[in-house]
A = this chain, B = another copy of it.
Amino acid sequence: MKIRVINPTISKSFQDSMLANYNTYASADAEIDAVYLEHGPASIESYYDVAIAVPNILVEVIRAEQEGMDAVIIDCMFDPGLFAARERVNIPVIGAAQASMSLAATLGDRFSVIGILDRDRPPIYDLWRLYDLTARGASVRVIDIPVLSLNDDEEALIKAMITEGALAITEDQAHVLVFGCTGMGGLKEAVERGLTEMGYAGIPIIDPSAAALKQAESLVVLRLSHSKQTFPDPTVQMIVGYDKLQL
């Protein structure tokens, strides 16, 4: 089984740690590779960034199908281009946000998202609306560190995530936690340890990339993909520009 992960940014520097995190969780028979965008933003922190990233995400999704991938993952908590990509290909396209938050909803009463910046809240609330998860969302807590600085001080990052996770549990009655950025990948154990030390054991902590990977693998084995009634192939029509996206 071959699965491609799309880093929906131009930031090549994320690739190695991202791929390593995926391989931590991959099935024995799953071969994971990862690409990043030729054109697009350095990180995804707004709807604006999403808009700029999506055409090249689509290029990569189409290429993944053409190259025989069995599934493709868009590695970002905004799920950029998820529905458009699903229209364009038949192989499963997985969004990290949908996969992780849907899983969270099955593991406990309500979940919180540990996000990056205040500005993450509205887009996450929008996804809750779009996926009908509002009733399962407890809160979005944010660590207030920009995406591109996440790797600058891992200790500070972990500490901030533990602090906000604990607040989500005590103030917002969160029973499950979801990382709000795939850039937090690989920190599950550290955050879990920190929360356990504070007395909050038994709280599922979901790394969205990992959740996306397992959903991708599951769909391949189950011979399932997204519904083509919901995501029918795009109408063939003239497009000006976007040479790589001509139908």
Contacts and interface: CB of A to CB of B under 8 A. Distances in A.
A204 B221 contact: no
Residue in A55, A176, A200 whose Cβ sees the most chain B Cβ within 10 Å: A55
B121 A242 contact: no
B84 A47 contact: yes
A224 B107 contact: yes
Contacts of A41: 237-239
Given A214-B221, A237-B42, A240-B38, A231 B122 contact: yes
B81 A51 contact: yes
Interface stretch (A25-33, A67-75, A152-160, A179-187): A25-33
Interface in A76-130: 81, 83-84, 86-88, 90, 98-99, 102-103, 105-109, 118-119, 121-122, 125-126, 129-130
Ranked nearest first, the 10 interchain pairs of A and B with the lowest CB-CB distance are: A202-B228, A39-B241, A108-B227, A214-B218, A108-B230, A48-B234, A47-B84, A175-B229, A51-B84, A175-B227
18 contacts: A10-B240, A39-B242, A41-B237, A42-B237, A46-B84, A46-B235, A51-B84, A90-B202, A103-B224, A107-B224, A109-B122, A109-B125, A119-B232, A175-B229, A202-B227, A204-B224, A204-B225, A214-B222
